[in-house]
Amino acid sequence: MKTHLLAAAAFALATGAAVSAPPAQAQHRSQHQECRDVETKQINSSDDHRVAGTAIGAVAGGLLGNQVGHGKGKTVATVGGAVAGGVVGNQVQKAHQNNNATYETHRECHWVDD
């Protein structure tokens, strides 16, 4: 610390610049910097809520359920197929979007008192 002050004083004398020492409080306080890498994901799709996959899955499931059911069970099979197809379609669309997403890593740092 003293060598830095001596160097600053020598520089000030040589150049005529004004140099002041840091406040006494700052001289006794010690800090270090902590950093971490943070990964962010950017979905490369305009369908953030996976509506397209859900809708296509529901239609396909409803059509399949309609073909399987008979009598009054046909309605239940159609509705059940539509619900199951919607869930499956949503998950398929989610997996597709995650595979095609862009991931970026940036560094976040902050000062911590020792």
Given this model, what pLDDT does residue 103 score?
Answer: 85
| Neighbour-count burial of 53, counting CB atoms closer than 10 A to its CB (0-12 exposed, 13-18 middle, 19+ buried) | buried
- pTM > 0.85: yes or no: no
In 3D space, the residue among 94, 97, 93, 59 whose CA is nearest the CA of residue 79 turns out to be 59
Q: What average pLDDT does the chain have?
A: 81
Q: pLDDT per residue over 77-87, tens digit each?
A: 999 999 999 99
Given this model, what pLDDT does residue 42 score?
Answer: 82
DSSP assignment of 80-95: HHHHHHHHHHHHHHHH
What is the domain partition of the chain in residue ranges? 32-113
Can you tell me whether residue 99 is helix, strand or coil?
helix
What does the alpha-carbon distance between residue 79 and residue 61 come to, in Å, rounded to a whole number?
Answer: 8
Res 91 pLDDT > 60:
yes
